[in-house]
Amino acid sequence: MQIHDGILEGARQIASPNCDDRPDDEISLLVVHNISLPPGQFGGGWIDDLFTNRLDPGKHDYFREIHQMRVSSHVLIRRDGEIVQYVPFDKRAWHAGESSFEGRAACNDFSIGVELEGTDSVPYTEEQYRQLAGLIADLQNHYPHITHDRITGHRDISPERKTDPGEAFDWGKMWTLLDHEISLRDNNQNLI
């Protein structure tokens, strides 16, 4: 996929109002999250509703607790591999909350947030890993400051508050697929 003006071509676009301008143009961190709404349930449009401030508190008890939250992520990778983009990459999404990476606070300022539809304890799908690896390769190509050592989980930037992407996320698999994706792209470039 290509990225133009912060938009990932081929992704389904649902604009979230929960974003603003970055304090500068730096984009140098990628944060992996998970989300399921209601907790532990997959499918449906509840995540879209949360990120667009349309979550109906009458549809589920849990929604009464969170329907007034103003949060977003740049993208979501659903269980079937579909990618949904809510916020252009050049804008600041509201995904990290109180956070710090390498001593620098306010990770939303300089990061891209990627949500995986899932939970800490349910294995992610092969489609999600493949799409995540391809997306990261695209992002690294477009935003070269997102190096391998600047890809992290939400739990690592907010360890007192968050646990995602959880023990079910296979970092080794993700790194292997990402390295393979980058190698394929390099080989294709050499053939041109």
Q: Which residues are designated catalytic?
A: 115
Angstrom distances, CA of residue 36 to CA of 119, 154, 185: 7, 15, 32
Angstrom distances, CA of residue 114 to CA of 58, 72, 101: 28, 10, 16
Helix axes 171-191, 126-142, angle to 10 degrees: 50
DSSP reduced 3-state for 41: coil
Asked, as a colleague might, if the bond just before 88 is cis with ω within 30 of 0, I would say no
DSSP reduced 3-state for 182: helix
Asked, as a colleague might, if the bond just before 39 is cis with ω within 30 of 0, I would say no
Spell out the residues 6+ positions from residue 49 whose beta carbon is closer than 8 angstroms to its own.
Answer: 55, 56
CB 33 within 8 A of CB 154: yes
